[in-house]
């Protein structure tokens, strides 16, 4: 599938503005394969990619981790463009996630804060250091498990075979059952497999023990950044501690391929209470090093006031 309607040089423009993978033409291909319409807008100081979402009789325009901005001063113009396009599409509102723009500047546009749809906090590891320096940044537990991987019979392999996505999802469903949550339906992962694995914009990493997949990770590549989007571990293989070697290999490969950053795709907030559901995975990610990054969260800008009010009432009734 191609996205011929996206302007030439789109991804280069997003990267130049420090934009996220979810604002790329790569992600547009995934959304289109899922049957969603994607539209874009751009100027010298901003650009945005939006997905038209349908919720019952209501339609809205969603800019995941967008718009991409040269500075906070570009936000009003970017939102004016998105709101006008949303109006022409019959959308009731624009949902957006303006990166690191200060909440005061976002609120000044007339938008209101809503529950975050993407991660609001993450850890980002700078991987443009030498491998030995990165290894020293590991905590002792991760370092020992990585060093002992061979002794435990673990072998880490990388795959861009879309057929292997089924094996990854099988592991992920085990994690979901263990932790009582659900991520995405199978077609979501099928779209990633057939659009991003085959193009090399995504990769799967597996730690195998004999003929068994013990752990796996799904990563996305965009510009200078590799994103650790999903990880999973086989229930019966957890005693082998297979997850650290998988992530470490993804980090090492990204560095060797010239990436400069490794985004861990989400973390618990720094002031999270002891029972926060992300504490465990956050501790795991912190074991590789990295700096905290906080984003502005998710906001909504009304396009059609009466319809947006009805949409809000409908959402509240479902809670």
pLDDT in the model for residue 1? 46
Round to whole Å and give the CA distance between 122 and 105.
22
pTM over 0.75: yes
H/E stretch holding 190: helix 186-192
Q: At 84, is the secondary structure helix, strand, or coil?
A: helix
Q: At 70, is the secondary structure helix, strand, or coil?
A: coil
Domain-by-domain residue ranges, the chain? 10-118+296-318, 121-294
Strand pairing of 261-263 and 225-233? parallel
H/E stretch holding 202: strand 202-209
H/E stretch holding 254: helix 243-256
pLDDT at residue 226 tops 80: yes
| CATH assignment, 10-118+296-318 | 3.40.630.30
Percentage of the residues of the chain whose pLDDT score is greater than 90: 93
pLDDT at residue 180 tops 50: yes
- For domain 121-294, the CATH class is alpha beta
**pLDDT per position as a tens digit, 255-294:** 999 999 999 999 999 999 999 999 999 999 999 999 999 9
Label residue 2 by pLDDT band (50, 70, 90).
very low
Identify the residue with better confidence: 4 or 260. Answer: 260
Round to whole Å and give the CA distance between 180 and 195.
29
Average pLDDT over residues 31-49: 97
In DSSP terms, which residues pair with 62 in a beta bridge? 51, 95
Task: Count H helices and E strands in the chain, helices first.
Answer: 11, 14
Task: With both helix axes pointing from N to C terminus, report the angle between 243-256 and 140-147 in degrees, rounded to the nearest 10.
Answer: 90
pLDDT at residue 104 tops 80: yes
Backbone angles phi, psi at 200, to 5 degrees: 85, 5
Average pLDDT over residues 242-252: 99
Query: Over the chain, what is the mean pLDDT?
Result: 96
pLDDT in the model for residue 311? 85
Round to whole Å and give the CA distance between 212 and 201.
26
Average pLDDT over residues 149-175: 98
H/E stretch holding 32: helix 25-33
Label residue 184 by pLDDT band (50, 70, 90).
very high
pLDDT in the model for residue 48? 99
Token pair belonging to 92? 């009731």
Average pLDDT over residues 241-259: 98
Start-to-end CA distance of the chain, whole Å, equals: 37
Identify whether the C-beta of residue 66 lies closer than 8 Å to the C-beta of residue 96.
yes
């Amino acid at each position: 599938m191609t996205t011929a309607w996206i302007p030439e040089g789109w991804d280069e423009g997003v990267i130049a503005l420090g934009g996220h993978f979810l604002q790329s033409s790569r992600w547009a291909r995934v959304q289109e394969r899922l049957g969603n319409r994607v539209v874009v807008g751009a100027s010298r100081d901003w650009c945005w990619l939006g997905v038209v979402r349908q919720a019952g009789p209501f339609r809205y325009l969603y800019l995941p981790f967008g718009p991409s901005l040269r500075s906070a001063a570009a936000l009003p113009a970017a939102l004016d463009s998105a709101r006008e396009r949303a109006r022409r599409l019959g959308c009731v509102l624009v949902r957006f996630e303006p990166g690191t723009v200060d909440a005061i500047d976002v609120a000044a546009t007339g938008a209101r804060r809503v529950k975050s749809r993407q991660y609001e906090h993450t850890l980002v590891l700078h991987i443009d250091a030498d491998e030995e320096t990165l290894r020293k940044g590991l905590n002792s537990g991760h370092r020992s498990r990585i060093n002992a991987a061979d002794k435990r019979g673990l072998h880490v392999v990388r795959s861009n075979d879309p057929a292997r996505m089924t094996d990854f999802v099988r592991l992920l469903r085990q994690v979901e059952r263990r932790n009582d949550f659900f991520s995405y339906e199978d077609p979501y992962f099928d779209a990633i497999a057939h659009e991003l694995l085959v193009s090399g914009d995504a990769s799967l990493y597996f730690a195998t023990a004999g003929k068994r997949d013990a752990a796996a990770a799904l990563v996305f590549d965009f510009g200078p950044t590799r994103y650790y989007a999903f990880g999973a571990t086989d229930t019966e293989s957890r005693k082998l501690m297979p997850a650290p070697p998988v992530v470490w290999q993804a980090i090492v490969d990204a560095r060797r391929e010239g990436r400069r950053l490794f985004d861990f795709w989400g973390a618990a907030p720094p002031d999270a209470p002891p029972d926060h559901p992300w504490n465990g995975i956050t501790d795991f990610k912190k074991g590789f090093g990295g700096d905290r990054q906080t984003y502005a969260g998710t906001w909504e800008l009304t396009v059609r006031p009466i319809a947006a009010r009805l949409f809000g009432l409908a959402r509240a009734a479902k809670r």
